[in-house]
Amino acid sequence: GHSAVAGPAMLRAEAPAGAPPCRIHVVTPEAPDGGKGCVGLLDTDKQNLYATHYWLDHVLRPMQRRFLWPNPATADLIFLNASFRDRHPQRYGCYELLLKTASRNSTKMIFAADFNTKPFPRFVDRNAFTRRNISLDQRNIHWLVMDPFLGRGHSLVTPFAVSQPCFLVGTCDPPANLVRLRSRPWRERQLLFFAGRVPKRRISSLRGALYLSLRNHSNVSLHVTFVNPAEQPPGFTPSHLPYDEYVERAMSSRFCVVASGDNMATPKFTEAILVASQGGCIPFVFCLSRICPWPWHERLPLHKVAVFSSLQTLKADLAVIERMDESEAKRRYHAARHFAPHYRSALDGRWSAAHATIDEMCHEALHPRLRPAMTLQQPVSRLEPRGSNG
């Protein structure tokens, strides 16, 4: 008989200190001329996976009234609180404001939020900027991104916004059916769960190759759809799970595949850390690149939660996860509970991904070349919420 893997109690961390760890000057533009020009917050859907800016804005606003620095000249960093996401046509005016802010404050780090690091768009009139002594090559601009392009620009990789279901972010208790599922003995759980879209091969071949490698494995649950039906293998039947069933499978499996999709990053990484923190599947992670800058990978020893693999080592790593016993799973669940507050998107007064982002911005500004790794052995870490029960 195997004993059941105990599910973790909901985190009860105390509210983080009100003041940020450095002097932040926030520039929040207002739309002039009836909406033309640069506007401020446009990411208003808090449940959107790309709405990192929304959560950051809502954590900064209470700070702004009491703690944020009014004078950019004496601030440690400047945050341009405007939307740059590609889906917002009103973002165009913000590029000029960003360049002006960076040019006028050339000794300060300027942070702005976007989906991925990219050069300034082609619509920018370079001659016009040159005439006004504004450089397009402002090296003090740093992007807060969810999907990094390696080797291009300065960026801080932040988690995708995961704010639901509520038990994943610790704002409610898990429903009774999920408590029962995560209480199943470790060896009785399905080994591996793989669900998601397979992108067109010209964009990324990783998920398609993983599907082909895993489809004949007897203890793997596969639920995928191909974006391009012409690339489906012979005999393939599309399988798409309703979200409630998706969560049930994740909570009742030992491991779940996290693989780069259309982009290097994927929201499944953040989701899987939170699922593991609640006693569900442990992330089995694959990336498009040999080096993948997952959120907080330089600050947290993520290998204590996830198993990192590749197509080249898949067979050997499958043997590793098949041999993993319950005691090792419990150690990984403990680490996931320790890390989860840095990935959660919630406004309940406790530590969240937005607080971790602010903390990392300050660390970049105060110690631009100092990037020490955080370990579980450190009793109080710079990224640890005060009062965390670990």
Q: Over pLDDT 90: what percentage of the chain? A: 50
| Domains identified in the chain, total number | 2
What average pLDDT does this structure show over 44-70? 79
- In CATH, what number is assigned to the domain containing residue 239? 3.40.50.2000
Over 90: is that where the pLDDT of 214 sits?
yes
**117 and 217 in a common domain:** no
In 3D space, the residue among 86, 76, 78, 95 whose CA is nearest the CA of residue 38 turns out to be 95
**340 and 196 in a common domain:** yes
**305 and 207 in a common domain:** yes
**191 and 110 in a common domain:** no
Domain contains 226: yes
Give whichever of 135-144, 250-259, 349-358, 361-370 has the largest mean pLDDT.
250-259
What average pLDDT does this structure show over 364-383? 50
**289 and 192 in a common domain:** yes
Looking at residue 292, its pLDDT comes to: 81
Query: 89 pLDDT band (50/70/90 cuts)?
Result: low
**85 and 208 in a common domain:** no
What residue numbers bound the domain in which 66 lies? 23-29+43-122+136-145
Domain contains 379: no
List pLDDT tens digits, range 105-162: 989 999 988 876 555 555 455 555 555 555 555 678 888 888 876 544 578 889 999 9
**141 and 181 in a common domain:** no
Looking at residue 173, its pLDDT comes to: 93
**96 and 188 in a common domain:** no
Query: 373 pLDDT band (50/70/90 cuts)?
Result: very low
In 3D space, the residue among 185, 200, 245 whose CA is nearest the CA of residue 221 turns out to be 245
**326 and 183 in a common domain:** yes
Pick the more confident residue, 39 or 261: 261
Distance, CA of 231 to CA of 239 (rounded, Å): 15
Distance, CA of 310 to CA of 197 (rounded, Å): 18
Give pTM, 2 decimals. Answer: 0.84
Domain contains 215: yes
Over 80: is that where the pLDDT of 202 sits?
yes
Over 80: is that where the pLDDT of 306 sits?
yes
User: Last residue of a domain, which of 319, 334, 349?
Assistant: 349
Distance, CA of 390 to CA of 384 (rounded, Å): 9
Over 50: is that where the pLDDT of 378 sits?
no
Over 90: is that where the pLDDT of 252 sits?
yes
**294 and 207 in a common domain:** yes
Pick the more confident residue, 368 or 251: 251
Over 80: is that where the pLDDT of 172 sits?
yes
**214 and 335 in a common domain:** yes
Domain contains 55: yes
Domain contains 360: no
Specify the range with the lowest mean pLDDT, choosing from 105-119, 160-174, 337-351: 105-119
**339 and 262 in a common domain:** yes
